[in-house]
Amino acid sequence: MRKLTLALAIAVLALTSGFGTTVETVNGAAHQAKVVIVVGATQGTTSSYRSDADQTAAVFARYTTNIVKVYSPNATWANVQAAAKGANVLVYLGHGSGFPNPYVKKLQPNGDNGMGLNATAGAGDSNTKYYGENYMAQLALAPNAIVLLNHLCYASGDNEWGAGKPTLAEAKTRIDGYASGFLRGGARAVIAEGTNDLSYYIDSLFTSHRSIDQIWRSSPASNGHYSSWASSRNTGFTSAMDPSLDRPARDGDVYYRSMVSIPDTTSDAIVTSMVTPLVSKAGRYVAMVPTRVVDTRTASPGPAGTVHANGPYLFPIAGKAGIPVNAIAITANVTVVGASAGFVYLGPSVHGVPSSSTINFPGGDDRANGVTVALSPDGSVSAYYGGHRGKYVNLIIDVTGYFLEGSSGAGYVAFGPRRIQDTRAGTGQIGLNGAFLQGKPRQIKVAGVGGLPSLGIVAITGNLTIAGPTGKGFVYLGPANPGSSQPVSSTINFPVADTRANNVVLQVAKDGTLWADYWTSSSNANNNVNLILDVSGYFTASGGSAFHTIEPARLLDSRNGTGGISHALVAGTPFTLQASGRGGVPSGAVAIAANLAEVPTGRGGFAAVGPTINANTPFSNLNFPGNDVRANGVTTPLGPKGTLQLVFGASSGSAHLILDVSGYYGP
| pLDDT tens-digit series, residues 342-383 | 999 999 987 667 878 899 898 888 899 999 999 988 888 989
What's residue 276's pLDDT? 67
Q: Confidence class of residue 322 from pLDDT cuts 50, 70 and 90? A: very high
Q: How far is CA 346 from CA 140, 179, 280, 595, in A?
A: 14, 23, 17, 11
Q: Is the pLDDT of residue 14 over 70?
A: no
What's residue 302's pLDDT? 61
CA 325 to chain centre: 17
β pairing state of 89-93 and 35-39: parallel
What's residue 304's pLDDT? 67
**Closest listed residue to residue 116, CA positions, set 129, 126, 104:** 129
What's residue 192's pLDDT? 98
Q: Confidence class of residue 601 from pLDDT cuts 50, 70 and 90? A: confident
- List residues bridging with 461 in a β-sheet: 505, 537
Q: Confidence class of residue 13 from pLDDT cuts 50, 70 and 90? A: very low
**Closest listed residue to residue 311, CA positions, set 276, 275, 270, 342:** 342
What's residue 541's pLDDT? 94
Q: Is the separation of the CB atoms in 242 and 222 below 8 Å?
A: yes
Q: Is the pLDDT of residue 439 over 50?
A: yes
Across residues 482-504, what is the average pLDDT? 93
Domain with CATH 2.60.120 in the chain: 282-405, 411-540, 546-666
What's residue 300's pLDDT? 66
| Sign, CA torsion 8/12/14/16 | negative
The 10s digit of each residue's pLDDT in 133-157 is 988 988 988 888 999 999 999 999 9
Answering whether pTM is above 0.75, one says no
Characterize 157-175 residue by residue with b for buried, 16 or more Cβ atoms within 10 angstroms of its Cβ, and e for exposed: bbbbbeeebbeeebbbbbb
- List residues bridging with 89 in a β-sheet: 35, 146
Q: Confidence class of residue 340 from pLDDT cuts 50, 70 and 90? A: confident
Fold of 546-666: Jelly Rolls (2.60.120)
CB under 8 A, 24+ apart: contacts of 483-489: 483/441, 484/439, 486/439, 486/519, 487/517, 487/519, 488/292, 489/290, 489/291, 489/292, 489/333, 489/398
Question: Which one is the CATH code of 411-540: 3.30.2450, 3.40.50, 2.40.50, 2.60.120?
Answer: 2.60.120
Q: Is the pLDDT of residue 397 over 80?
A: yes
Q: At what angle do helices 199-207 and 46-60 cross, to 10 degrees?
A: 20
Q: Confidence class of residue 413 from pLDDT cuts 50, 70 and 90? A: very high
One-letter amino acid identity for 347?
A: G
**Closest listed residue to residue 234, CA positions, set 113, 374, 92:** 113
Secondary structure letter of residue 583 according to DSSP: T
What top-level class would CATH report for the domain 282-405? mainly beta
Distance CA 92, CA 177 (A): 16
Distance CA 138, CA 595 (A): 24
**Closest listed residue to residue 445, CA positions, set 457, 433, 430, 431:** 431
What are the start-end ranges of the E strands in 40-185? 67-71, 89-93, 115-118, 128-131, 145-150
- List residues bridging with 267 in a β-sheet: none
- List residues bridging with 424 in a β-sheet: none
The 10s digit of each residue's pLDDT in 536-552 is 999 999 999 999 999 88
Q: How far is CA 528 from CA 435, 465, 468, 510, in A?
A: 6, 14, 8, 28
Q: Confidence class of residue 79 from pLDDT cuts 50, 70 and 90? A: very high
